[in-house]
Amino acid sequence: MSALDKLKIKIFADGADKAGMVTLYRTSYVRGLTTNPTLMKKAGITDYEHFSKEVLQLVVDKPISLEVFTDDLSDMLRQARKIAAWGNNVYVKIPITNANGDSCIPIIKELSSEGLKLNVTALLTLRQVGDVSAALHNGVPSIVSVFAGRIADTGVDPVPVMQAAKSLLEGNVNAELLWASVREVFNIVQAERAGVDIVTVPHDILGKAEKMLGTNLTRVSLETVQMFSKDAITAGYRL
């Protein structure tokens, strides 16, 4: 059993590499998957719908979040309804605003009232969390993704923010708080300690966490020295 299996927090794998998504989906510690248009572009995906439906043929009993990508709010409603129809395990990712800065709160409110499972994404402030909490239809499964890693990038400790965000969502039945933009293995531990429901982790960091989480530090020290020694020998260094 991996040390990741012992965590209480739900781990979602974040990526757009189909083979990696399927492999991680089959692990016991991954409870769901997420992706976004940027990850898809980096993976070389050119047909959004074809890729998504291919993945959904393999990912059938764990939640997966797929994001809308239009800035037209009316079209966002259409895209969201279309994506939601692809599977019962689909959560539709709706950004807090479109790229023009227009609020998506009315979109979130309308779709949630229709019973669509949403993953509201790209939140960084408690005001945004409060607005989303008020817009979600109570009882409809939903995820609120706060980009804790990006908060930390600005020099702000994300842990108190996430704890406060959790409090703001307490009245929403079936609304879960997600720690997004993980940068390192320790962020997974931070998210659990903060009482967050879900942490979404890039594939490469999940691989590192599976190998390193809980590893004895004396062992890590020795392995580090062994690496230095091996590299010096293979490089042929002489003094």
> Looking up tokens 């927090």, which residue turns up?
9
pLDDT tens digits for 44-90? 999 999 999 999 999 999 999 999 999 999 999 999 999 999 999 99
- Residue 219 inside a domain? The answer is no
Percentage of the chain surpassing pLDDT 90?
99
- Residue 130 inside a domain? The answer is yes
198-202 vs 175-179, strand pairing mode: parallel
- Residue 63 inside a domain? The answer is yes
- Residue 239 inside a domain? The answer is no
DSSP 137: P
When divided into structural domains, the chain yields a total of: 1
User: What does pLDDT average to over the chain?
Assistant: 97
To 10 degrees, what angle do helices 18-25 and 48-58 make? 20
- Residue 224 inside a domain? The answer is no
- Residue 35 inside a domain? The answer is yes
**Residue 1 pLDDT > 90:** no
Amino acid type, 7: L
- Residue 94 inside a domain? The answer is yes
Residue 49's region, left for phi above 0, alpha for psi from -120 to 50, else beta, is alpha
The 3-state secondary structure of 76-115, one letter per residue: HHHHHHHHHCCCCCEEEEEECECCCCCECHHHHHHHHHCC
pLDDT tens digits for 91-125? 999 999 999 999 999 999 999 999 999 999 999 99
- Rg of the Cα trace of the chain? 20
State the Cα–Cα distance between residues 215 and 219, nearest whole angstrom. Answer: 7
pLDDT attached to residue 147: 98
pLDDT tens digits for 210-220? 999 999 999 99
Q: What is the pTM of this model?
A: 0.96
pLDDT attached to residue 13: 98
pLDDT tens digits for 141-198? 999 999 999 999 999 999 999 999 999 999 999 999 999 999 999 999 999 999 999 9
Residue range(s) defining the domain that contains residue 91: 3-213
CATH number of the domain that 60 lies in? 3.20.20.70
- Residue 231 inside a domain? The answer is no
- Which pLDDT band, with edges at 50, 70 and 90, does 2 fall under? confident
